Amino acid sequence: MSTKKRSNHALYLKVLRRMTAEERLQKSFELSEFCRKLFLDGLRKRFPDMPDTALRQVYLERLNKCHNRNY
C-alpha cells in the first residue's frame, strides 16, 4: 500500500473512531443506499431501453449472485 493510501486509511479510521456507534450505523446505511443507487445507475446505462420491471429483475438476479452465502 502506498504512503498516501496508508495516510488516507489512517485518517478514515481516525474519523470512524470519533463517531458514536449510532453515527457509524447511520453511515453504513448511507453507504449501502449509495452503493444500491450506483449499481442501479450502472445497469440503467448498460441497458438504457430496458423497462423498469425487467431492469429490477436483472438487478435482483445480479445482486443474488453477489450475496455472501457463508452465513
Per-residue pLDDT of the chain (71 residues; tens, 9 = 90+): 778 778 899 999 999 999 999 999 999 999 999 999 999 999 999 999 999 999 999 999 998 888 766 65
- Specify the pLDDT at position 66: 81
- Specify the pLDDT at position 71: 54
Rg (CA), the chain: 17
CA angle 37, 41, 42 (to 5 degrees): 120
- Specify the pLDDT at position 63: 87
Is pTM beyond 0.85? Reply is no
Judge contact between 1 and 9, C-beta under 8 A.
yes
Whose cell is 489512517? That residue is 10
- Alpha carbon distance 36, 1 (integer Å): 28
